[in-house]
Amino acid sequence: MVFEGSERRRHDPKHAKEILEVTKEAGKEAALWFSAKDWQKTKEAGLGEVADVNLVNLWPSCNESYPKFNTDQFVEKVINKATLAGVDPGSLIIEIPLFVANSCEVEDVGYSDVILDYGASPTGNGSILYDHGYRIHPRYFFSQTRAVEKVDLAREYGLHGIMLHGGDGWTQDLYPWDDNSLINALSKKF
């Protein structure tokens, strides 16, 4: 969340809490977006308890003991950390990213690139081991299979839902009517 004021105030979670509270006092729904790695800051400021809707993105962890960011095990850790931060699971929305990442570095490659240029399987396990026949350091992404699994996980944990991150300059889904697109696969799950 970015708001007006000095640099110090802009990044002070207490001010974000004030904004959420004022929003709710005005009779509006208050939504908070935070990164999975920022759950402790969210907890310390009491932000998760105030927001009506909490959106958390699935950003890769550089901690080698963590599972890959596209797995159910990683998402379960994110859900656990969010609830430790005071977030009611019924208010939590998991954001599925469109980027490709190695262990913890996000690359300037997106879902459409990995399917069309790298030849990765949209229904595979969400990993790339070869680029044009050459072995590479593994890269991970949300395949249709990995994304659709998160719908079941959201239901199991009683989450508010899941969302697909909007595309930007270098991370795009395929067209919605393309059978290989994530949005197409997710829409069939509902």
pLDDT in tens, 91-129: 999 999 999 998 778 888 899 999 999 999 999 999 998
Would residue 25 count as lying in a domain?
A: no
Q: Is residue 20 in some structural domain?
A: no
* Single pTM value for the model: 0.88
Q: Count structural domains, the chain.
A: 1
User: What's the distance, CA 62 to chain centroid?
Assistant: 16
For the ranges 85-89, 133-137, 146-150, the lowest mean pLDDT is seen at 133-137
Task: Determine, yes or no, domain membership for 21.
Answer: no
H helix and E strand count, the chain? 8, 8
Give the pLDDT score at 5. Answer: 42
User: Is 77 within a domain?
Assistant: yes
Q: Is residue 111 part of a domain?
A: yes
- CB distance 87 to 42 below 8 Å: yes
Give residue-wise pLDDT tens across range 16-56.
Answer: 899 999 999 999 999 999 888 888 889 999 998 999 999 99
Q: Is residue 148 part of a domain?
A: yes
Question: Which residue range(s) make up the domain with 166?
Answer: 30-189
4 belongs to a structural domain: no
Query: Is 154 part of a structural domain of the chain?
Result: yes
